[in-house]
Amino acid sequence: MLTLFKNARILSMQDDKIIFGELLVKDERIAFIGEHYQGEKPDKTIDCEGNLLMPGFKNAHAHTAMVFARSASDDLPLHNWLFDCIFPMEEKFKKDDIYHLTKCGILEYISGGITAASDMYFEVPEIVKASEELGIKNVIVATKLSEPIESIRNNYLTLNKKGSLISYMVGIHAEYTTPKERIIDIAKLANELKAPVALHLGETEHEVQGCIDRYGMTPVKFLDSLGLFNYGGVAYHANYFTDEEIKICKEKGIKIVTCPASNAKLASGICPVSKYVENGLTIAVGTDGAGSNNSLDMFKEMYLVSVLQKLSHKDASIMDGFDVLKMATVGSAKVLGLNECDVLKEGKYADIIMIDLKSPSMQPLNNIAKNIVYAGSKDIVKMTMINGKILYFDHKFYIDEDVNEIYKKAQEITNRLRG
């Protein structure tokens, strides 16, 4: 199957250049990018009318199924949000709830130009099934405290060979929710597999103080002392790292996933992204879950990454818009190990979005890439393609399922969990 995009602006994200030309997709992958394609006749030709092709966004930290908690607990302090609202609802889960809820969340990804997510949530097989059926990439991260180490090892070894849509990382939920013995067991596994470990880390001041009280060390230092990061790590949130912890991150290859919207709504804090950049850390962008965000919208995240740095430094020149666009695409891909769909390039997977430059917020044209960060929102996504398949075009889903049925199922489950 050959699909040719013509009359396209193309932002490969290998650099900040936008070329005008054509892009050919052959089956799952990009086969040509250039001025004019002259090979075998394509099966399908799409006239982009000057609109922009770029790599899809990679949502580097998510709990997709948590759409059940969307707007169920707004304007509550973190503790009440978690203990009075979220946990009691999660206790009522039935086995396939997560399958249906994950599908509902994936619809938001697809319509918002997100071509890969990274789900830290329970019931791995359900997440795999939902992601594969809708055709989105998902880097699933171990989180369940009660899951046997053997099961995590098995997931790691099997899911990372399962195909291009699914991959798997070793993880723990967080230091403050995981007994020391369990952390040590996970560290052993990570060392055996030579794998990085992903977790919530440095999200709140309360968490950091708790770790100091428990172990006399800040979280990164404590976990590193247990050998958790010998093969790298991924830190979700990372709002409160000391200079010493930043140094450990650099030495051990711990990468950062900033989730500014969720942290802002829960008043957890502002991730010092520009400081991390100065220190050479790799930064990715994530939405966190809909219970605390409430949207799953990389445009909102990108905007916040930039302006919260500008505000907190009282300096409008800090945190360049293009650098943020890179974080949400290339940076997130790097953190998730998605090296075959990070940029638009011949041979890479065709995980491509089309930005509608005829959207009012994109007009008139000037610095298109930066304007996606500063003025973009989900309405500018004209197309989402994953592995060469168009899943969304002109506000319509092209999936093998009835969207209204997915919504209906999610609503039924949500009503039961809230009841």
Q: By CB under 8 A, is residue 67 in contact with its own copies?
A: yes
Minimum Å distance from CB 398 to its own copies?
A: 15
Minimum Å distance from CB 417 to its own copies?
A: 10
Minimum Å distance from CB 257 to its own copies?
A: 19
Give dist(CA 275, CA 122) in Å, integer: 33
Give dist(CA 31, CA 223) in Å, integer: 44
C-alpha distances in Å from residue 417, one per residue of 20, 48, 96, 290, 411: 50, 44, 13, 15, 10
Select 22 or 297, whichever has its Cβ closest to its own copies: 297
Select 28 or 379, whichever has its Cβ closest to its own copies: 379
Of 231, 368, 398, 416, the residue at the interface with its own copies (CB under 8 A) is: 368
Minimum Å distance from CB 84 to its own copies?
A: 12
Q: By CB under 8 A, is residue 314 in contact with its own copies?
A: yes
Select 65 or 201, whichever has its Cβ closest to its own copies: 65
Q: Which of 372, 383, 389 is nearest to 111 (CA)?
A: 383
Of 63, 221, 237, 370, the residue at the interface with its own copies (CB under 8 A) is: 370
Rg (CA), the chain: 21
As a 3-state breakdown, the chain gives helix, strand, coil percent values, each rounded to 5, of 40, 25, 35
DSSP string for residues in 323-376: HHHHIIIIIHHHHHT-TTSSS--TTSB--EEEE-TTSGGG-S-SSHHHHHHHH-
Give the angle 61-62-68 at the CA atoms, nearest 5°.
165
Select 52 or 413, whichever has its Cβ closest to its own copies: 413
Footprint on residues 170-189 left by its own copies (CB under 8 A): none
Give dist(CA 116, CA 298) in Å, integer: 11
Select 37 or 81, whichever has its Cβ closest to its own copies: 81
Pairing assessment for the beta strands 381-386 and 389-393 based on DSSP bridges = antiparallel
Minimum Å distance from CB 149 to its own copies?
A: 35
Q: Tell me how far the alpha carbon of residue 333 is from its chain's centroid.
A: 9
Mark the segment that binds its own copies (CB under 8 A) among 8-16, 102-110, 138-146, 271-279.
102-110
Select 188 or 378, whichever has its Cβ closest to its own copies: 378
Question: Where do we find the tokens 């220190």?
Answer: 279
Q: By CB under 8 A, is residue 150 in contact with its own copies?
A: no
Minimum Å distance from CB 110 to its own copies?
A: 8
Footprint on residues 205-264 left by its own copies (CB under 8 A): 261, 264
CB 293 within 8 A of CB 105: no
Q: By CB under 8 A, is residue 399 in contact with its own copies?
A: no
What would the x/- binding string for its own copies be over residues 71 to 90, using CB under 8 A? xx-xxxxx--x---------
Mark the segment that binds its own copies (CB under 8 A) among 11-19, 21-29, 209-217, 409-417.
409-417
Q: By CB under 8 A, is residue 308 in contact with its own copies?
A: yes
Give dist(CA 368, CA 359) in Å, integer: 12
Q: By CB under 8 A, is residue 157 in contact with its own copies?
A: no
Q: By CB under 8 A, is residue 121 in contact with its own copies?
A: no
Q: By CB under 8 A, is residue 313 in contact with its own copies?
A: yes
What would the x/- binding string for its own copies be over residues 262 to 291, using CB under 8 A? --xxxx-xx-------------------x-
Query: Where does residue 167 rank: exposed (0-12), middle (13-18), buried (19+ CB within 10 A)?
Result: buried
Q: Which of 24, 127, 155, 51 is nearest to 381 (CA)?
A: 51
Q: Which of 351, 357, 353, 393 is nearest to 375 (CA)?
A: 357
